[in-house]
């Protein structure tokens, strides 16, 4: 049984990836400090170490002589607003600590790695679909911290076999509603909108209504977390089988505005959706949609959960489950 090490495996995206890895027959070890992760999301067959990635002494104990085939590095901070308020914290966690951890892994024989990055590294683009080789212009400290880690990997490309995955906007939960987003302070648009639709949150504040988009609200490319997990499984096998280092966008290549989301929730719930137009957020982008031709061609990939109505219904079901418990 091939061993995979996953940082942040008790989190939203990590729990979905770890579940699928185990279903595919991998042995999974998780390193998570549980700052945003949740023990309830950890698969019973996964081995969890509650540990910060900067605790080098403990990390060495975890990885020494274990012969992990590959590392999936997901751990990090993700809130753009918080990064603007605490830029040094984001640089420390997402770059400095990650670099220390990756070097420790390298010293102990783990040289294949999947790095979770973000579409935010592209910044504002005045084009329909963003390709992996487009210019990078991070507009907030979170995005900058992600880009700095990417550059660390690229600068050490002779040491690592890597795939960098730039996530666009992740949403939804697995179809059995076992693994989803539990962070009460999440800034995830679909989660917040689901809460408003269920009337467990008063209203959605739409940050910006004067962008140069079809209705003035920001446009995003949403990808279902289960499709994102499947992408990781394919990349995992690819690297283990000797695949070359690469970098891919992770989205659907379809953009929806915030008002599109509002209107779709109204169709699903047959209720008026409560929202208020607010000012733009510092560091936000107007329109960010992926070009996914590169990944689709390389892996003959077709998403299973692309339909917006399914993604939103699935998110509503997950929030309903959280409310019950």
Confidence of residue 324 (pLDDT cuts 50, 70, 90): low
Which pLDDT score is estimated for 112?
A: 97
- Average pLDDT of the segment spanning 181-210: 93
Report the pLDDT averaged over residues 229-235: 98
For residue 325, is pLDDT > 60? no
Task: Provide long-range contacts, Cβ within 8 A and 24+ apart, for 38-42.
Answer: 38/10, 38/11, 38/182, 39/10, 40/182, 41/10, 41/11, 41/12, 41/14, 41/15, 41/178, 41/179, 41/182, 42/9, 42/10, 42/15, 42/18
CATH number of 3-171+221-250: 3.40.50.720
* Per-residue confidence (pLDDT) for residue 85, from 0 to 100: 95
Question: Mean of the pLDDT values across residues 268-292?
Answer: 92
Question: What pLDDT does residue 284 have?
Answer: 80
pTM (two decimals): 0.96
The rounded distance, in Å, linking the Cα atoms of 221 and 230 is 17
Q: Please give the residue that has the higher pLDDT: either 155 or 184.
A: 155
**What was the pLDDT predicted at 126?**
64
Does the pLDDT at position 198 exceed 70?
Answer: yes
Kindly report, as residue ranges, where domains of CATH 3.40.50.720 are found in the chain. Answer: 3-171+221-250
CA 249 to CA 189: how far, in whole Å? 20
Give the pLDDT mean for 74-101. Answer: 96
pLDDT for 215: 96
Is 96's pLDDT higher than 80? yes
- Quote the pLDDT of residue 306: 96
From 142, 162, 256, 275, the catalytic residue: 142
Alpha-carbon span 28 to 47, nearest angstrom: 6
Rounded to 5 degrees, φ, ψ at 30 are -110, 135
What does the pLDDT read at residue 162? 98
Considering the chain, tell me which residue range(s) the CATH 3.90.25.10 domain(s) occupy. 189-220+253-324
List pLDDT tens digits, range 108-154: 999 999 999 999 999 987 667 999 999 999 999 999 999 999 999 99
Q: What percent of the chain stands above pLDDT 70?
A: 99
Q: What mean pLDDT is predicted for residues 171-182?
A: 94
pLDDT > 70? residue 300: yes
**Residue-level pLDDT at 282:** 80
If 0-12 CB within 10 Å is exposed, 13-18 middle and 19+ buried, where does residue 272 land?
A: exposed
Q: For residue range 244-259, list pLDDT tens digits in order.
A: 999 999 999 999 999 9
φ and ψ at residue 114, rounded to 5 degrees: -105, 125
Pairing of strands 219-220, 256-257: antiparallel
CA dist., res. 83 & res. 44, Å (int): 33
Which CATH number applies to 189-220+253-324? 3.90.25.10
> Is residue 238 among the annotated active site residues?
no
Q: Report the pLDDT value the prediction gives residue 286, as an integer from 0 to 100.
A: 87
Q: What is the pLDDT of residue 285?
A: 82
């Amino acid at each position: 049984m091939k061993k995979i090490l996953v940082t942040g495996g008790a989190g939203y995206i990590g729990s979905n990836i770890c579940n699928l890895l185990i279903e595919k027959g991998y042995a999974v070890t998780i390193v998570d400090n549980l700052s945003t992760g949740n023990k309830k999301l950890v698969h019973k067959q996964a081995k969890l170490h509650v540990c910060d990635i900067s605790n080098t002494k403990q990390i060495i104990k975890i990885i020494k002589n274990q012969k992990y085939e590959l590392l999936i590095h997901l751990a990090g901070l993700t809130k753009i607003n918080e990064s603007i308020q605490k830029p040094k914290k984001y640089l420390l966690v997402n770059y400095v600590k990650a670099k220390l951890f990756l070097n420790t892994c390298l010293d102990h024989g783990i040289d294949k790695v999947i790095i979770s990055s973000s579409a935010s590294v592209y910044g504002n683009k005045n084009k329909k679909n963003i390709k992996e080789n487009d210019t990078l212009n991070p507009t907030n400290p979170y995005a900058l911290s992600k880009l700095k880690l990417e550059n660390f990997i690229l600068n050490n490309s002779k040491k690592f076999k890597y795939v960098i995955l730039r996530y666009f906007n992740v949403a939804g939960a697995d179809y059995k509603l076992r693994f989803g987003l539990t962070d009460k302070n999440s800034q995830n648009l679909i989660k917040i909108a689901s809460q408003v639709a269920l009337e467990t949150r008063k209203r959605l504040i739409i940050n910006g209504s004067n962008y140069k988009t079809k209705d003035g609200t920001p446009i995003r490319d949403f990808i279902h977390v289960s499709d994102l997990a499947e992408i990781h499984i394919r990349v995992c096998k690819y690297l283990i089988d000797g695949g070359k280092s690469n970098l891919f966008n992770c989205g659907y290549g379809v953009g929806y505005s915030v008002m599109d989301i509002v209107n779709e929730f109204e169709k699903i719930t047959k209720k008026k959706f409560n929202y208020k137009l607010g000012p733009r957020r510092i560091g936000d982008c107007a329109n960010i949609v992926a070009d996914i031709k590169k990944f689709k061609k390389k892996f003959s990939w077709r998403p299973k959960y692309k339909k917006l109505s399914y993604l939103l219904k699935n998110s509503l079901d997950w929030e309903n489950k959280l409310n019950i418990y």
